[in-house]
Structure 1
Amino acid sequence: MANRIFYFVEPAEPYIRHHLNAIRLLCDPRENKLAHVTVRGPYESSLSAERIDSLGQLVKGEILQFGPIGEFVIGRKINLHLECECDALKKVWDKSDFGYRPHLTIFDGTRGPYMESMRRVMLHSLGHFKASCTSLVEYPPPRGRNHNMLAESLRGGVLSRLVGFNIEPEDVGQIPSGDRFSLISRLCQQLSRRSSFFDQADLFEDATPPVPHLAHLASCNEV
């Protein structure tokens, strides 16, 4: 079966983007897609580079307003997401299988205790915030159709700095769900408290591991 091609935008600020990607991975350690707002697709083939660039210029730098938490329910399946508002997105919107309702998916799952716990954490911890918009990004990427974009975005010590201990994206599944909920709650609160355009670049420039590896997990519930 041929790949279906989509186009999305994401927050331009590294601080916001990294937090959302880490939250997404902690919600589901098997997830491989970046936190994003899909605006076009599906297509059977890629748009031309010129078309992508012209569409991207219509939204790049515009303000994305995120919040509140919303959900789509189809049978037992639930899509937990952040609502997104940005008038400029209407200029590039083309989703044949979905009406105009921009959103950033946090977690796709099914009804049950895990989903209910995730919903409570999100509703309690994650408020409204703003970010500036990137230009359009193609998914799957033209090169490396099976590339794990989410894990790649959190390498180089980024995830370790966010959670407060040294860990690689592939090891997140080893963290007990209760500890992951604590980390998710903390990251959500950090994200909601920060100004969208606060310069946090220095948080990701230092390559020094923060603390020892998974041995630190015992204290996660105290976060």
Structure 2
Amino acid sequence: MQPVDRSRNGSPELPPSAGKVASSTALVDYGQFVLMAAGAPTPESSKRALDILNSCETANKLNASLERARGGNKIHSEKLAALLGDAQQLQRSCQSITADMYAYRAQFAQAALLGAMPGAAVAYGTVVDFKPPAEMRIHLLNGLRAESAAGSYGAIVSLALHGAELGVSNVEMQAVRDVIERLDSSAQNEMLKSILDVRRPLELSQQENDQAKRLADRLEAALRARSDARKARSAG
């Protein structure tokens, strides 16, 4: 299960990576960039190519849902027009992306993860369904830990949902569960809390509980700081 960005009125929105790709003027041909990244990959080009592929896939799916929303008058017309404009602009840029290019996603995600690119751990986990080869497990786990410490909601959720299979300690598991229990009562967060049964604590010693609480406090502070920074950028 992956977090889904939604606007305040419940309508779908382009993910942050899609906005970055759509607004870029440095890329003339997305398909050419993907092929170049596949031929001579670096962590940076691999993450950019992965974002392009994911955003193009999102744009294709989103156009249909936005058209349905417009038909049902479920979104304010100005909001819908802006969303449709972004999605359609991105979709036009994605015309050179062919179906077989999506097979590069695992290669790109792994290169980005090994290069410690921001957001690469969640992206790689998603590509491999959080069931990495044995030699990549520690890289995925360490990446999720680092992204969680940096305030990534997706990384915290990923650890809570998949951490046990990746080898996360009970202290870490309790910490991420505690953070999720403290989240606001949006429909998505409430569903997460129910799935994880966060109100049923793990069996830990008092010392371990104290460690989990301190870690949860740090993760929550990082999460809120990142959210506040994002809001400040949007307001500016």
Q: Which structure would you say has the larger Rg?
A: 2
Question: Structure 1 or 2: larger strand share?
Answer: 1
Question: Structure 1 or 2: larger helix share?
Answer: 2
TM-score surpassing 0.5? no
Q: TM-score, normalised by structure 2?
A: 0.22
Q: Greater relative contact order: 1 or 2 (C-alpha under 8 angstroms, separation 6 or more)?
A: 1
